[in-house]
Amino acid sequence: MRILDTHLHLIYPDRFSYPWLSGAPAINKPWHVESYWQEAAPLGIEAALHMEVDVAEPQIAAETEFVLGLDRIVGAIANGRPEHADFERHLERMRDLGKVKGIRRLLQFQPAELSQTQTFVDNIRLLPRYGMSFDICVKSHELMLVPPLIRSCPETQFILDHCGNPKIADGEWESWTTRMERVAELPNVVCKVSGILANVDETWTVDAIRPYVEFVIETFGWDRVVWGSDNPVVTLFADLTKWVNATREIVSDASETEQEKLFWRNAERIYGV
């Protein structure tokens, strides 16, 4: 089964500044495309979308332009600041680069009001005009912020990253499932099966994460899920190989068509690859 990775982070400290990495020493080092493909290609991953890595704001455009020239990177989800009045100028520049499929502005740990301002909403409404979607990344306790934004932008395609970041190591379930059901009710959002292994601990097993993945697929449906590696964040408690194999095991009883939707068909359609 071929895979299109919708969530690959590449880190080039010699080129860009990543202020947040000072607080993540385990992955605060180079993660280049060559080393990724060395592990990814034998797993059946044939292409990848690069996900912005929250570089210093003046470097956002440069990061996007750089990664689009790398091996088998078929598109990028670029960083952006929809809270700024001149956001459309950024969209124009991203469009001119070609192959920018979407925008992400990290909302996790940001002030709750950031995504609720009229400027933010109006700018997210611009994305369909540029053929772009919006990736939402929040922690599970912030999921209540998601439905108002999605409802306010009915023509925009949203992708909820990392299954909504359930706190698996803490056994979080009911609060997460309740909030995820409210998100899934909205037709213009899909969920990315990624980031699960950043929310576990060293004792994780496939059976421990299975209910979370299965819940997302059941709640959103096979037509509204995509797969992402979240490499190198996935290496905090596992590695790319273990995550691919775990996902394959969890969906092994699904039909070939259903698995194709998760691993590549939906991604090609939703991101316009």
Q: Per-residue pLDDT tens for 238-264?
A: 999 999 999 999 999 999 999 999 999
Please answer whether residues 180 and 150 qualify as being in contact, where contact means their C-beta atoms are separated by less than 8 angstroms. Answer: no
Residue matched to tokens 């060559």: 34
**DSSP secondary structure letter of residue 162:** G
Please answer whether residues 159 and 270 qualify as being in contact, where contact means their C-beta atoms are separated by less than 8 angstroms. Answer: yes
CA distance 240 to 160: 20
The SS3 assignment for 55 reads coil
Q: For the chain, how many residues are written?
A: 273
* Low-confidence stretches of the chain (pLDDT beneath 50): none
Res 46: pLDDT: 98
Please answer whether residues 227 and 192 qualify as being in contact, where contact means their C-beta atoms are separated by less than 8 angstroms. Answer: yes
Give Cα separations from 138 to 67, 87, 124, 141, 144 (angstroms): 24, 21, 16, 8, 10
Q: Is the pTM of this model over 0.95?
A: yes
Determine whether 26 is exposed, middle or buried from the number of CB atoms within 10 Å of its CB (0-12, 13-18, 19+): exposed
Q: Which residues contact 247 (CB under 8 A, 6 or more apart)?
A: 193, 213, 227, 262
Please answer whether residues 107 and 124 qualify as being in contact, where contact means their C-beta atoms are separated by less than 8 angstroms. Answer: no
Phi, psi (degrees; rounded to nearest 5) at 74: -95, 0
Three-state helix/strand/coil letters over 121-157: HHHHCCHHHHCCEEEECCCHHHHHHHHHHHHHCCCCC
Under CATH, to which class is 3-271 assigned? alpha beta
CA distance 130 to 43: 33
Residue matched to tokens 């698996």: 168
Indicate the domain borders of the chain.
3-271
Q: Which residues contact 163 (CB under 8 A, 6 or more apart)?
A: 180, 191, 192, 193, 194, 195, 196, 212, 213, 216
Angle CA 157–88–160, to nearest 5: 25
CA distance 186 to 161: 15
**DSSP secondary structure letter of residue 191:** E
The SS3 assignment for 24 reads coil
Residue matched to tokens 């909302």: 107
